[in-house]
């Protein structure tokens, strides 16, 4: 189970509800049971210059 970056969204990016379940279409796919949208969370990369606060 290591070597794969999993990101679990806390809120639906479309309606803002928290009723999210993993979707069977693939890794990173989530379905919102509030608005019935299915979306994918994907790790794109890191900022090359890091994060400055």
Stretch that binds Zn ion, among 2-10, 14-22, 23-31, 42-50 (CB under 5 A): 14-22
41 is an interface residue for Zn ion by CB under 5 A: no
- As to burial, measured by CB atoms within 10 angstroms (0-12 exposed, 13-18 middle, 19+ buried), residue 52 is exposed
As a whole number of angstroms, the distance between CA 30 and CA 25 comes to 9
34 is an interface residue for Zn ion by CB under 5 A: yes
32 is an interface residue for Zn ion by CB under 5 A: yes
Which residues bind to Zn ion, rule: CB under 5 A?
12, 14-15, 17, 32, 34-35
């Amino acid at each position: 189970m290591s070597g794969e970056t999993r990101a679990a969204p806390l809120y639906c990016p479309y309606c803002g509800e928290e009723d999210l379940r993993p979707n069977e279409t693939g890794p990173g796919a989530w379905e919102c049971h509030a608005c019935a949208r299915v979306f994918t969370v994907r790790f794109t990369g890191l900022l090359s210059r890091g994060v400055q606060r």
